[in-house]
Amino acid sequence: MPEVLFSIDQSKSFFDQEVLPHNRWHPDVPPVASVKPGAEFRLECREWFDGTIHNDDSADDLRDVDLTLAHPLSGPIAVEGAQPGDLLVVDILDLGPVPQETGPVAGQGWGYTGIFAKINGGGFLTDHFPDAYKACWDFHGQVCTSRHLPGVRFTGITHPGLIGVAPSHEMLGEWNRREAELIATDPDRVPPLALPPEPHNAVLGDLDGDDLDRAAAEAARTQPPRENGGNQDIKNLSRGSRVFMPVYVEGGKLSIGDLHFSQGDGEITFCGAIEMGGFIDVHVDLIKDGMQAYGVTTNPMFFPGNVEPRYSEFLSFVGISVDEDGGQHYLDSQIAYRQACLNAIAYLETFGYSGEQAYLLLGAAPIEGRFSGVVDIPNSCATLYLPTAIFDFDVRPSGAGPERADRGSCAMTS
Ligand code: ZN
């Protein structure tokens, strides 16, 4: 058993933990521990909304959730000898829900997938689904089921949604400059174009007083992926994965959080994974001066995990860059993928699922999303691969027509 370098008492808010997490990126967040290259250790993690989402049949909690809470990260862990320009090598040895606990906090035997309301963050299809919805999932070992999505059962692809290192002061300044410029192009947009620094609910480890105030005013929000990794939501960072992270500050300062029991490519509902608290075991090492040696200037690279569900048949949906109103777009893969998702949802509706249920399922199940063509003007082509074996009925098209049934309902707002 690796040593636990960051522990979480799941019965308490992250604000009340003995060692505080951090929910913003800032180079001054003090390391909670320092390890040598070659170390193996465990980090315990809090789910991304600090236990404010409940295992019930109402989506009011998701509608009202406070985005400034996100994401409580476990760490940072300093790696001795790590210097800017090195590559930090992180092996994901194992991860999972909170061991040996059942309870009211996501990760204690269950998890949730959410669709966010358009006025509170939205999601990939927010113009089609502007309200909040939720599905709660029960864990059965590696398998999950949901009373909000009857007829579905699948093996999760467990991974950290968020893994990253500290930015340098210079890099943080650059993030704030470029994101502020984007926001300024349409400052009143709903949902916003980006999230500026927000001191409310900012926790930066044990920084306090003036140090906390100063850092919180400029610390970066954790929602987007950036050059330091961050909230990449790559489902293939599953067990067995090896991630090569660029180092920007002394010690590297590795942090991990936002564990997911499963997720489809794209995490399309925004809270589209199956969210949970839990644990992650990692091994760290260094490639000295690896950034220059391997031409890595920004962003991590990785070996995908070697532990994942094995589905072999996929019903695949195609989308092109022509929008819902017939508008022609030039090689826009976002629009193409949106059409692939909408086509998949329309198909699943013929089996009796609501559009919201289908949207939730595509966020959470291990679907594959691909850029199939990006050069054939004027249309990009994107594809969504839906594993057929996750349904307990035959979801494949045939002359007999779709097996329509009462598929219940997801959790909705009151
Ligand atoms: Zn997440």
Whether residue 308 lies inside any domain: the answer is no
Which pLDDT value is given to residue 399?
98
At 198, the pLDDT band (50, 70, 90 cuts) reads very high
Which pLDDT value is given to residue 411?
98
Which pLDDT value is given to residue 174?
98
Ligand 1 center to residue 400 CA distance, Å? 39
User: What mean pLDDT do residues 362-382 have?
Assistant: 97
Whether residue 136 lies inside any domain: the answer is yes
Whether residue 340 lies inside any domain: the answer is yes
Ligand 1 center to residue 257 CA distance, Å? 8
Whether residue 309 lies inside any domain: the answer is no
265 and 398 both lie in a single domain? no
Is the model's pLDDT at 121 over the cut of 90? no
62 and 142 both lie in a single domain? yes
User: What mean pLDDT do residues 245-266 have?
Assistant: 98
Ligand 1 center to residue 281 CA distance, Å? 18
At 117, the pLDDT band (50, 70, 90 cuts) reads very high
44 and 104 both lie in a single domain? yes
Per-residue pLDDT of 63-74, as tens digits, reads: 999 999 999 999
Which pLDDT value is given to residue 108?
98
220 and 352 both lie in a single domain? no
Whether residue 258 lies inside any domain: the answer is yes
Ligand 1 center to residue 271 CA distance, Å? 6
Whether residue 90 lies inside any domain: the answer is yes
Among 248, 270, 303, the domain boundary falls at 303
Whether residue 19 lies inside any domain: the answer is yes
296 and 330 both lie in a single domain? no
Which pLDDT value is given to residue 1?
83
Q: Would you list the DSSP string of 246-265? A: E--STT--EEEEEEES---T
Q: Give the total residue count for the chain.
A: 414
220 and 119 both lie in a single domain? yes
d(CA 41, CA 282): 6
Pairing of strands 278-287, 40-45: antiparallel
Omega cis (within 30) before 191: yes
User: What mean pLDDT do residues 106-111 have?
Assistant: 98
294 and 326 both lie in a single domain? no
Is the model's pLDDT at 53 over the cut of 90? yes
Ligand 1 center to residue 289 CA distance, Å? 32
Ligand 1 center to residue 270 CA distance, Å? 8
d(CA 261, CA 142): 8
Quick check: pTM over 0.75? yes
Ligand 1 center to residue 48 CA distance, Å? 6
Per-residue pLDDT of 289-342, as tens digits, reads: 999 999 999 999 999 999 999 999 999 999 999 999 999 999 999 999 999 999
Ligand 1 center to residue 275 CA distance, Å? 5
Domain count across the chain: 2
The CATH number given to whatever domain includes residue 352 is: 3.10.28
| Mean pLDDT (the chain, rounded) | 97
Among 254, 273, 303, the domain boundary falls at 303
206 and 228 both lie in a single domain? yes
What is the domain extent for residue 363? 314-412
Ligand 1 center to residue 182 CA distance, Å? 24
The CATH number given to whatever domain includes residue 32 is: 2.60.120.580
217 and 321 both lie in a single domain? no
Ligand 1 center to residue 274 CA distance, Å? 7
224 and 166 both lie in a single domain? yes
Ligand 1 center to residue 71 CA distance, Å? 8
User: What mean pLDDT do residues 20-36 have?
Assistant: 98
289 and 364 both lie in a single domain? no
Q: In the chain, pLDDT over 90 holds for what percent of residues?
A: 99
d(CA 225, CA 278): 21
Q: Are 244 and 87 in contact (CB under 8 A)?
A: yes
Ligand 1 center to residue 402 CA distance, Å? 33
Ligand 1 center to residue 160 CA distance, Å? 8
Among 258, 283, 303, the domain boundary falls at 303
At 190, the pLDDT band (50, 70, 90 cuts) reads very high
216 and 85 both lie in a single domain? yes
